[in-house]
């Protein structure tokens, strides 16, 4: 079935969202046009504004429309602690799960030599400059437990080691809470075993 050019274009554009294929895009397009034109207008203007105004926080590189994001501007957070994560979503995950009062640094990716992503692409020059400011006492490396995430964590740890007085720590990996050993994959289990802790 062929739609008028503008409708097809709308469907095509909606397909750029994650998890949205042609079929769901079609449903969304018709919903907006038939039932919620007001919502569609609001969505369009907000989208435009967001894309134009949202940039990166100058300190933590997370997404923000201000030059200094809310977390970095807050005076109630502990400035001697810095948690390094791969993406802005990870910031939210840490905030929700852990009682963490420190600052963040968002890499917006990880080192991936095979994709040609190097230290400057993930802002390590900025991180190094921030370490040199002298406020930070501990850096918590919370990159993903993938091979690339591991490599990134170690790479940053070496940069930290070359500066006296800053501790580098890595989040623990292991068996998920509420899980059963039988169903945990062997690489996770072997790590959990190697990094066992005193009870």
Partner 1 sequence: MRQSLQASYVLHSRPYRNTSKLLDIFSREQGRRVLVARGARQGNSRLQGQLLPFIPLLLSWQGQGEVQTLTAAETGTLLTPLKGRKVLTAFYLNELLLRLLARDDPHPALYDAYAQTLQRLSGSSDRASDEEAGLRLFECFLLQELGYGLVLDHEVSSGGVLQAQQLYCYQPERGPWVIESKQDCENGLLVHGSTLLALQQGDLYAADAHTEHHNLMLREAKMLIRINLARHLGAKPLQSRELYIQQKQLLKS
- Residues at the interface with partner 1 (CB under 8 A): 18-19, 111, 113-116, 118-120, 124-125, 128, 132, 146-147, 150-151, 154-155, 157-159, 162-163, 185-188, 190-191, 194
For the CB of residue 158, give the shortest distance to partner 1 in the complex, in Å.
Answer: 7
Of residues 77 and 191, the one with the C-beta less far from partner 1: 191
For the CB of residue 72, give the shortest distance to partner 1 in the complex, in Å.
Answer: 22
The 3-state secondary structure of the chain reads CCCCHHHHHHHHHHCCCCCCCHHHHHHHHHHHHHCCHHHHHHHHHHHHHHHHHCEECCCCCCEECCCCCHHHHCCCCEEEEEEEECCHHHHHHHHHHCCCCEEEEECCCCCEHHHCECCCCCCHHHHHHHHHCCCCCEEEECCCCCHHHHHHHHHHHHHHHCCCCCEEEECCCCCCCCCCHHHCCHHHHHHHHHCCCCC
Of residues 72 and 168, the one with the C-beta less far from partner 1: 168
For the CB of residue 88, give the shortest distance to partner 1 in the complex, in Å.
Answer: 17
For the CB of residue 193, give the shortest distance to partner 1 in the complex, in Å.
Answer: 10
Of residues 71 and 188, the one with the C-beta less far from partner 1: 188
Of residues 28 and 71, the one with the C-beta less far from partner 1: 28
């Amino acid at each position: 079935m062929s739609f008028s050019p503008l409708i097809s274009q709308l469907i095509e554009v909606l397909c750029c969202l994650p998890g949205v294929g042609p079929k769901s895009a079609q449903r969304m397009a018709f919903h907006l046009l038939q039932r919620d034109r007001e919502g569609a207008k609001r969505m369009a203007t907000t989208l435009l504004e967001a894309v134009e105004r949202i940039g990166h926080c100058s300190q933590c590189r997370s997404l923000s429309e201000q030059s200094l994001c809310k977390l970095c501007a807050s005076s109630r957070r502990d400035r001697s602690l810095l948690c390094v994560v791969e993406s802005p979503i990870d910031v939210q995950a840490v905030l929700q799960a852990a009682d963490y009062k420190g600052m963040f640094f968002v890499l917006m990716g990880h080192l991936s030599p095979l994709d040609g992503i190097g230290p400057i692409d993930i802002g390590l020059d900025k991180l190094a400059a921030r370490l040199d400011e002298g406020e930070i006492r501990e850096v918590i490396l919370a990159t993903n437990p993938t091979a690339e995430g591991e490599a990134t964590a170690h790479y940053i740890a070496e940069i930290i080691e070359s500066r006296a007085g800053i501790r580098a720590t890595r989040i623990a990996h292991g068996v998920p809470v509420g899980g059963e050993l039988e169903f945990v994959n062997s690489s996770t289990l072997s790590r959990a075993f190697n990094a066992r802790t005193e009870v």
